[in-house]
Copies of this chain bind each other. A is one copy, B any other.
Amino acid sequence: MTADDAKTELLRLRSSIDNLDAALIHLLAERFKCTAQVGQLKARAGMPSADPDREAVQIARLRALSDEAGLDPAFAEKILNVIIAEVIRNHQAFLEN
Complex: A75 Cα to B31 Cα, angstroms: 13
In contact, A25 and B71 (Cβ under 8 angstroms): yes
In contact, B1 and A69 (Cβ under 8 angstroms): no
In contact, A45 and B78 (Cβ under 8 angstroms): no
Tally of chain A residues near chain B (CB < 8 A): 51
Would you call the interface of chain A mostly helix, strand, loop, or mixed?
Answer: helix
In contact, A38 and B10 (Cβ under 8 angstroms): yes
Q: Which residues of B contact A31 (CB under 8 A)?
A: 17, 20-21, 24
Complex: A19 Cα to B59 Cα, angstroms: 14
Complex: A92 Cα to B87 Cα, angstroms: 32
Please name 16 pairs of A and B residues whose Cβ atoms are closer than 8 Å in the assembled complex, sorted by A: A6-B44, A9-B41, A17-B38, A21-B61, A21-B80, A22-B62, A24-B24, A24-B27, A25-B62, A27-B27, A29-B71, A32-B71, A33-B70, A78-B82, A79-B82, A79-B83
